[in-house]
Structure 1
C-alpha cells in the first residue's frame, strides 16, 4: 500500500500536489487511514470523516474523481465547513479518487497541495492506473484475511484499529449499529474539536462513555401541563 501511495504522489508532484492519503471504507464512508505521507494528509482525511463532507466523500458518492485546483474558488456549496478547515491547515488544491472495482467501493485516495494545482491529462491517466492497483490491493487484503480484525492487525495502521475498536465499544454502549456508533464518535469529535483518533482512544481507555439518546413522548396539547417553577 505504501509503495502504491508513493507512486500516486510521485505522479502528482509535477502538478504541485505534495501529500497523499489512502483510506478504506466502512458502510460507504472513509473510516480509517491505510497510509498517509504526513500528518496533514492524515488530518485532511480525519476532517472528512468527522464532517461528513469534502472531496473524498463526493468522490465515493459520485463514483468518479473530484479535482479541485483551488479550494478557495471551489463551487461545491456543501463543503463550506471542510473548505474553511482545510484552508486553515494550509491546503489549497485537492484531488480525490474513489478506489473501487465495478460497483464494489473499497476506499478513497486523496492528494493535496499547499498551492493551487491541477493534473494534466497524462498525470490524471497515471493516477487512475495507480488507483486501479490500489483497489486490487485493498480487495486482496480483505479476501486474504477472511476476517476484519486480522486486516486491522496487519494491513492497516494503528489509528484505524483504535477507531474500529472504539466503534465496537460504542455500538455495545448504545445498542446501535456500527454505522450509528461511528456517527456518534464523529459528532463528538467535531463538537469537542478533537480528532477521531483522540476520541476513539478515550473510549478504548474508558475515560469516555456514550449514553443512548433519550426520547420523550409527544404530549397532547389538550392535556393539562404542570406549571414551571422558578
Structure 2
C-alpha cells in the first residue's frame, strides 16, 4: 500500500512541467524514503554513469567519489541490476571497494542504498539513497524505494534524459558531460583513446585529493594539462 508521502512524490514526478515545483519534487522523494539525500544516475555511453540530479552536498560528494574511483555500490547496481545495501560503512570489508571505503569515512554518509532503474535485463541507471546514520532499511523503506525507482525508470523511458535533467529536480545538478570534454582534451594531449584519458583523469584526481569534477573543469579551462606543459 502506497502511503501519503510516497503518493505525493509519485504525483509530483508525473508533472510534465514542474519547473515551479522542482525543489518540492526532491524533498518529497527524500521524505518518502526517510533519507537524508537522494541521487539519480543514468548510464551514459562515454562516461559510464552520469549523475542527473542529487539533493544535497553529502550525496554529491559520495557520487563524485564513486565516479572518481570508478567503483562502489552504485556502479555495482548498474552492472548487476540488483539492489546494493551498505547499512554501515564502518563494517564494509576494505577489499570490497578498495580506496572508496577509506574515502567515504571522511564524509557524513554512514549508510548508502542503491536501487536499480531497470526493466528486466535492460539497465538504465540507479537511485542512490544516503543516510547520515548507520542501520538497515525497514521493509517499508525498501518497498517505497522500489516503487520510486520503478516510477523513475518509467519516466525516463517515456520522456528521455531531458525530462530528468531540469534544474528543479536537484538542489545540486551535475552533468558528467564535462568529463566528455576533458577526456577529449587529454586524449589529444597524450594521443590516447578517450576511455584511457578518463582513467588518467580519475587517477590524477585521486592522487591529488581533488574531485574529478574540479580536475575536468581545470582541464577544459586550460588551467591544467596532464602532459606536463
Q: Say whether residues 1:44 and 2:62 are aligned partners.
A: yes
Could you say which structure has the greater relative contact order, defined with CA pairs below 8 angstroms and 6 or more residues apart?
2
Mean Cα deviation higher: 163-172 or 121-130:
163-172
Contact 2:46 2:180 in 1 (8 A): no
Secondary structure of 2:224's counterpart equals coil
Q: Which runs of 5 or more residues in structure 2 are unaligned?
A: 1-12, 14-21
For residues 177-205 of structure 1, give each alpha carbon's deviation from its aligned partner in whole angstroms, at most 9, with x where no partner exists.
43223222111111111111111111111
SS at match of 2:176: helix
Q: TM-score, normalised to structure 2's length?
A: 0.75
Give the drift of 1:43.
Answer: 0.6
SS of match in other structure, 1:77:
coil
Gaps of 5+ in 1: 146-150, 213-230
1:32 matched residue in structure 2: 50
Q: Does 1:178 align with 2:178?
A: no
State how far apart, in whole Å, the 1-side matches of 2:219 and 2:140 are. 45
Shift of 1:6: 4.0
Counterpart Cα distance in 2 of 1:5 and 1:28: 27
Flag as ranges the 4+ runs of structure 1 deviating above 6 A: none
Q: Report how far residue 83 of structure 1 moved.
A: 1.6
Whole-Å Cα distance in 1 between the matches of residues 202 and 96 of structure 2?
Answer: 18
Aligned length: 204
Displacement of 1:101: 3.0
Contact 2:112–2:129, Cα closer than 8 Å, also in 1: yes
Provide the aligned C-alpha RMSD in A: 3.1
Give the whole-Å Cα distance in 2 for the aligned partners of 1:28 and 1:125.
32
**What is the CA–CA distance in structure 1 between the aligned matches of 2:141 and 2:114, rounded to whole Å?**
14
Is 2:83–2:114's contact at 8 Å kept on the other side of the alignment?
yes
Name the structure 1 match of 2:77. Answer: 59
Q: What CA distance in whole angstroms lies between the structure 2 residues aligned with 1:77 and 1:5?
A: 34
Does 2:96 align with 1:74? no
What's the counterpart of residue 199 of structure 1?
215
Q: Which of 176, 181, 184 lines up with 1:168 in the alignment?
A: 184
Cα distance between partner residues in 2 of 1:185 and 1:104: 29
How high is the TM-score relative to the length of structure 1? 0.74
The residue aligned with 2:127 is 109
Larger radius of gyration: 1
Provide the C-alpha distance between the structure 1 equivalents of 2:104 and 2:41, rounded to a whole number of angstroms: 17
Give the Cα–Cα distance (whole angstroms) in 2 for the partners of residues 179 and 138 of structure 1: 26
| Residues 21-57 of structure 1: CA deviation (Å, up to 9, x unaligned) | 2222234965432111111111100101111222112
Q: 3-state DSSP class of the match of 1:34?
A: strand
Determine if contact 1:4/1:134 at 8 Å carries over to the other structure. no
